[in-house]
Structure 1
């Protein structure tokens, strides 16, 4: 029989979609506005940044005037040496005009020279000294301005990270059901870092260029209003270029970071399931999926960079065009005697300092657009719907909590179009153990998730000691529940810290007692540092040992309600028996919900609930359900096929033994 095999290329395409070229980003203006409001919160630092930037610009604007003055002094000395002493400047100019050198006479009329005198070295030295001090002051103010701006950016990013951390704790569990974990991690790490770099590079180096544009423009009008107006001719063209290219680049940056999140999601899955990938020989397919996603990311990055990189050459062209116009018209004005050479020198410096910020801002456009794209992805998390808030005036539980739990006509659906639990009712008395069994997808784990309010009910209610859990604060409700899951979770820290995760004030003796109750003390003491051993990935503990630590964690919290979701699935048979004995002691006087597939672990449960398709199909003790010969008996026979089950089934059907 032939089997149709899916090609690796198609599998890769399905795993990481090839990015399409988007028409537009969602709302860049709104994102920029929100980001500016966040930055504006650092008013004190921004005020200091602006003040030092203004001083730096003013000093920078004074520099060309001083250098122009120095040029005029040199030019005056060079011209003065060409004429005999004893005459005046006016006489020299008049003589040149009378000799028919009118243009030269008009030019010399603007130069403050003294016939027979050379360069005034004292005045030139003072002027150059003042220029040096001015430029040093401008540089120092620019340094302080950049330091303050960087401090403001880091505080904004710090607050943004804190907001995301708080937001992650407020979103419902369903949010992580609908979003790939790798993409969420990419937003919290890569996008935050990219935004931090973008803000740091732009805000710290953006203020002075913006003020420089204003300051240099004012100085240009001071020197020559005509040349200043000519320089402004290119300003509308520059703005038009920025807008047109920016509209093309921004959606591509958004797609670049979206594709980065997709690729990170694939990497996270492959690294987490590395052993499974190798066990099934899927290394080549995983590499092909990565290669396809990596190529797609490179393509989108190239498109974004190509779109924004066209901005700087266009701005350089406009800057050079402005320079040519200023040089030509300035030369004509010198010939007409309206300006000095020093004036033109100063004006050309101002013109360069006016156009350079425009070119610089254009070169930063790509980084700004990339940062805005990351900010947009970050704000998507911050705008995600949150779990329903706790009541403004929540109820409280009487102490001690007895642990009586009742499900009353509970209805719940993950998706409105897909029914799961409909009108389910169940009661668990204090000190009783309720075992929940059934096929995969029957709704067993969903039931305890509803008890912990990981999801909100569509209808009905769940009560704890007669109090509707929807009226209780979530922290209070969850403090009453100890949970041991099939999938263990331990954080990077010592074994003692992991056991005390739910009881921060626990003493070392209490931690050791809990480990002994969970039969974990023996293997812990064999480790080099004992309870102070640091947990490092999979190199220290086996899966079964990790599960023993999570069971010890549940022992230490001393909860009123226990939830055990296949809590002994990763331990050997002997340890499982010991843990069952320990659990029996722990369950004394407490309500326990045990989700199990191995029916041997729940024989002694007070109530066994058999679920299928979100409904309770049978309920009773082990013996009564086995005698009933229904769904539970069939599950039991499928697992054990023992003589006891056969006898019960024969009695029910009337067939001879």
Structure 2
């Protein structure tokens, strides 16, 4: 479609170039009966002088007899020799008919009609081609933006989590939205315009030289300065457009961070600091915008001045040539139109280049994102179905670090049997959550192996592993929609009875039915549902999954003590019959775990159930007792 749009733009430009030539013919046809033909008057004087009234002469295919020549000479002798053409034209009716026809021919109405019709057709075709070009280009740019966003969406799913650890969310969002829109707008507004302007520029240039090379040279010389200035500005301004897109990404990142953590900002009285940072980033964006807009704003007036200067210069030269009889009045009109067409592409090209500079910066950021290193290709050799999995998982000498310089998990080895509750405890930074991320294959281990039912996770796809696990996280992930949609996420055709059966087990049926719309209650950022109730909803979602493995990552850390009891009972229901990995800071919640792994600095320093570890009176016992000290 882009090629078709470009072809339509070319044809539209060609018709625009042809039109002035037809317009000149129309003006010449009309002026025949209104304007004296100075050239033929000069030729008449010359031919009479040569013939010396001894023979007939021919001018423009019209034969003038000796008798008509004598009569013409008699009239010319009565005129002021300094202005023969003007005074001769004033007495044109006294001249012989043959001389009148070459000095002031009659208008050919049929020719005027034909030329007018052809001219109208040319302008209509040019308009139609331009319209369809704009329509197709708009459709193409929208599809391009849609496909680009799809590529970005697919890319996000293929990127390793370490990319998101190192890059700000706001900057990524800016690339997906602002930068993609900038590229699409340029494709819509500038690409075909650029092609059309180039065709119009060179086509007009050719026609100008074909019409009159003197005026063409005048026009070319007058715009050379414009091209030199444009090249200088483009070379100096690219860095400002790149800076503008970068600063916009930084500002978006800051706004997203503050908005996402507004409660924390207010709790720590961080309003002043966050506002100051926002003002700094906003000022940086303003400066980048000001510099880039100053340069882009400077180009258009300069190009307009250059075009106007060329227009004036050509009009003066054309007037001089017309006064000497070297061109007709129609040629002047034609050339005046060509000068306008010649200067217009300059402004369009300047504007397109300005737009393309913003696009170059935006596309660089977009394709830089698309070129990021993806998750390594998987060699899928096995597929485990949830109903075929009993629940055995083993870690065998696992080593891992987010970067090569620092290893977080060191020679980790443990085996979980079907149905066991494995609790993982330890201080912040011990590697608890990292262990879960490795289990879900969010990161690739450096060495060692993780096996599910004796099959290495290296031989399983990430999608297959995800289908075997249910996760309940510290941060409750609920999207805008109804409670029903959140509980039955990714599971269609569930009845109210099936949903309430799960809700009964964890004790939230009464709460849901007490809401005005029950399961159809809309959830959004402004709802009054507590953190504990939201966590219970996520647990209900997890129970519906019915997977062989369960991961609970700090699931009770965001609820109060009273709600914790409800959540704990719900979690006990959730873990029944499943191999469960429970990460917890509140050690009271994992007392009934089959195995408690005490981690410190990436290693297992203690292992056993609650009673066994308390008897050792070591790290776990001290950690447990510290939580109950007054």
TM-score normalized by structure 1? 0.83
Q: Which residue of 2 aligns with 1:323?
A: 311
CA RMSD of aligned residues (A): 3.0
Shift of 1:209: 2.0
2:2 alignment partner, one of 32, 40, 46: 46
Please say if 1:394 is aligned against 2:350. Answer: no
Q: 1:73 aligns with which of 29, 36, 39?
A: 29
| More moved, 285-294 vs 558-567 | 285-294
Moved more, 287-296 or 271-280: 271-280
Q: Which moved more, 1:53-62 or 1:559-568?
A: 53-62
Distance in structure 1 (CA, Å) of the matches to 2:348 and 2:576: 73
Aligned to 2:439: 451
Residue 180 (structure 1) aligned to one of 162, 168, 175: 168
Within 2, Cα distance between the matches of 1:573 and 1:241?
72
Q: Distance in 2 between matches of 1:97 and 1:158?
A: 78
Q: CA deviation at 1:236?
A: 5.3
Distance 1:254 1:116, change over 3 A: closer
**Deviation string for 1:239-264 (max 9, x for gaps)?**
43333211222211111111111111
CA deviations 1:390-426 (Å, max 9, x no partner) are 21x4222375111211111111111222231111111
Identify the range of structure 1 (252-261 vs 519-528) with the bigger mean alpha-carbon deviation. 519-528
Contact 2:141 2:185 in 1 (8 A): no
Equivalent of 2:550, from 548, 562, 566? 562
Q: What secondary structure does 1:503 align onto?
A: coil
**2:145 corresponds to 1:157:** yes
The equivalent of 2:612 in structure 1 is 624
Choose from 242, 260, 273 the match for 1:272.
Answer: 260
Residue of 115, 138, 141 corresponding to 2:126: 138
* Distance verdict in 2 for CA 1:450–1:174, change over 3 Å: same
Contact 1:412 1:420 (C-alpha < 8 Å) held by counterparts? yes
Between the aligned partners of 2:437 and 2:168, the Cα distance in structure 1 is 20
Aligned-partner Cα distance in 1 for 2:84–2:263: 88
- Does the 8 Å CA contact 2:398/2:449 hold for their aligned counterparts? yes
Q: Distance in 1 between matches of 2:600 and 2:319?
A: 93
Contact conserved, 2:208 with 2:215, CA < 8 A, in 1? yes
Quote the offset at 1:49 in angstroms. 1.5
Unpaired segments of 5 or more residues in structure 2? 42-57, 90-98
Residue 77 of structure 1: how far off its partner (Å): 1.1
**Which structure is larger by alpha-carbon Rg, 1 or 2?**
2
1:74 Cα offset (Å):
3.3
- Greater Cα offset, 55-64 or 593-602: 55-64
C-alpha offsets along residues 439-472 of structure 1, whole Å, 9 cap, x if unaligned? 1111111110110011111111111111110110
Indicate which of 469, 491, 504 corresponds to 2:457.
469
- The 5 Å alignment of 1:13-28 reads none
Structure 1 range deviating more: 499-508 or 260-269: 499-508
Match of 2:44 in 1: none
Task: Answer whether contact 1:212 1:354 (CA < 8 A) is retained.
Answer: yes
| Contact 2:470/2:547, CA 8 A, preserved across alignment | yes
Does the 8 A contact of 2:450 with 2:456 survive in 1?
yes
Structure 2 CA distance for aligned equivalents of residues 158 and 175 of structure 1: 24
The worse-fitting range, judged by mean Cα deviation, of 496-505 and 365-374 is 496-505
Tell me which moved more, 499-508 or 112-121.
112-121
Distance 2:200 2:35 in 1: 35
> Cα distance 1:102–1:426, how it changes in 2: closer, same or farther (>3 A)?
farther
Partner Cα distance (1:418, 1:162) in 2? 36
> Residue in 2 aligned with 1:481?
469
CA contact (8 A) 2:505 2:573 kept: no
Q: Distance in 1 between matches of 2:21 and 2:37?
A: 24
CA contact (8 A) 1:53 1:207 kept: yes
C-alpha deviations, 1:570-622, integer Å up to 9, x for none?
Answer: 34445433443343343233210000111111111000011111111100010
| 2:223–2:307 Cα contact (<8 Å) kept | no
Say which SS state the counterpart of residue 244 (structure 1) adopts: helix
> CA 1:113–1:291 in 2, change beyond 3 Å: closer, same or farther?
farther
Residues 1:286 and 2:278 are matched in the alignment: no
Q: Give 1:648's aligned residue.
A: none
Cα 1:432–1:206 change in 2 (3 A) is: same
Q: Which residue of 2 aligns with 1:57?
A: 13
1:81 and 1:178 map into 2 onto residues whose CA distance is 80
Are the counterparts in 1 of residues 223 and 310 from structure 2 also a CA contact under 8 Å?
A: no
Do the aligned partners of 1:182 and 1:269 also contact (CA within 8 Å) in 2? yes
Q: Is the 8 A contact 1:499 1:552 kept in 2?
A: yes
Contact in 2 for aligned 1:277/1:283 (Cα 8 Å): yes
Alignment of 1:551 onto 2:553: no
Given that 1:79 and 1:113 are in contact with CA atoms closer than 8 Å, whether structure 2 keeps it comes out as no
Q: How does 1:427-438 map to 2 (within 5 A)?
A: 427-438=415-426
Using the alignment, how far apart are the partners of 1:141 and 1:79 within structure 2? 37
The question of whether the paired residues in 1 share the 8 Å contact of 2:539 and 2:574 is answered with: no
Cα separation, partners in 2 of 1:366 and 1:50, compared to 1, 3 Å: closer
- Alpha-carbon separation, structure 2, partners of 1:206 and 1:150: 15
Cα 1:476–1:154 change in 2 (3 A) is: same
Q: Which residue does 1:593 correspond to in 2?
A: 581
Partner of 1:611: 599
**Residue 244 (structure 1) aligned to one of 221, 232, 243:** 232
